[in-house]
Amino acid sequence: MPGNGYFDHNATTPICAAAREAWIETSERMWHNSSSLYREAGMAKLRLEDLREELADALGIDEPERVIFTSGATEANNAVMRYFENVAISEIEHPCVRETAHALSILPVSETTGVVELEMVEALFLTKEELSLISVMAANNETGSIQPWQEIGVKCREAGVLFHCDAAQWFGKMDELESFGESCDFVTGSAHKFGGPKGVGFLTIPEDFDPDFALASGGPQEHQRRAGTEDLPGIAAMMAAFREKRLEPNSGLRDQFETDLAEKIEGVKFVGQAGQRLWNTSMFVVPRESNLKWLVRLSRAGFSVSTGSACSAGKGNPSHVMEAMGLDFDSMSRVIRVSSGHDTTADDWSALLGALVECDREFLSLE
């Protein structure tokens, strides 16, 4: 049995010790409604605003009120997409962007790197005068492909178009967080992707943005942007996880795994390998049998992997990301995604490799 066979961190992560402690401490000591007027409520309000300031600071944002705490990335992305009429999104956005956007244009990605090309963004400015917003994620949840969000942000500024960046897969995995404030107008994050609890996240909005923009109405919370009693324990836990998880990216273990896998399983193909990817993600097409068969066998052996994103996995239809990467229907049914965490060791990766090789041997023997 492996030490840690969980390789689905892009779907969600286990809550880390610091987040759990912060959640318990805040629930026990600061459970009062921060909108009430007595002393304890005031303390809760102060804590909330401190946490907002801390997050704004980390993002390179001078005005903390530009940060809205939300229930996660879906709510945040939905709100932005519903608000704007004429937007351009990349071909590989998460369904919560893709299915909500009033998309005027779709930016394609390169089939080898999985990355949006800057020239395509520039071309948009020339041809789409009515464009109000561009949305490109920081890193893709399925392939791990890192997008040129800083550069796109700069180009949007120059063109006077707003820029939204879904950073749900970037936060807690990668650095350069201050660049978000510099280059993005809207930024989305989600706590459960980096060791925080589920059901908490954030959205940043531009300074002095339309006062009518609100994620929920009926109360003054979140500086009038999202009514409803704030989840202070969840927010404190998210920030505790955030403090813990800002490590330097190191893709060495993943890279070694891919080299070994290519050597041991003939015909395995990696998706998006030619581009820059998150250090923890590997997506590959196995040479035989459906990915579900692999998944079931791996699960029995103690390894949790994915057949794509959690969202498309349950639906049984091909992922738009795989389509964008030029995979044919047959290859799509053989795609496996593995995504590690900060605690995944070299031994865990070797054990996963061993289990994959074992599966392949078993399938080969049945042919």
Q: Which residues form the interface with ligand PLP (CB under 6 A)?
A: 72-74, 77, 94, 96, 137, 141, 166, 168-169, 190, 201, 310
Which structure tokens are listed for 243? 């403090």
Residue number, 2 or 272, with CB nearest to ligand PLP:
272
Residue 365 CB, shortest distance to ligand PLP, in Å, is 36
Which structure tokens are listed for 123? 């071309």
309 SS3 class? coil
Residue number, 159 or 311, with CB nearest to ligand PLP:
311
Among residues 197, 178, 199, the alpha carbon closest in space to that of 187 is found at 178
Rounded distance between C-alpha atoms, residue 36 and residue 62, angstroms: 27
Residue 337 CB, shortest distance to ligand PLP, in Å, is 12
Among residues 125, 70, 123, 124, the alpha carbon closest in space to that of 96 is found at 70
Angle at 169 between CA 24 and CA 74, to 5 degrees: 75
Residue number, 18 or 73, with CB nearest to ligand PLP:
73
**Closest residue to ligand PLP, based on beta-carbon distance:** 72
Rounded distance between C-alpha atoms, residue 178 and residue 140, angstroms: 20
DSSP bridge partners of 90: 107
Residue number, 113 or 289, with CB nearest to ligand PLP:
113
Catalytic residues: 311
Among residues 135, 133, 130, the alpha carbon closest in space to that of 116 is found at 135
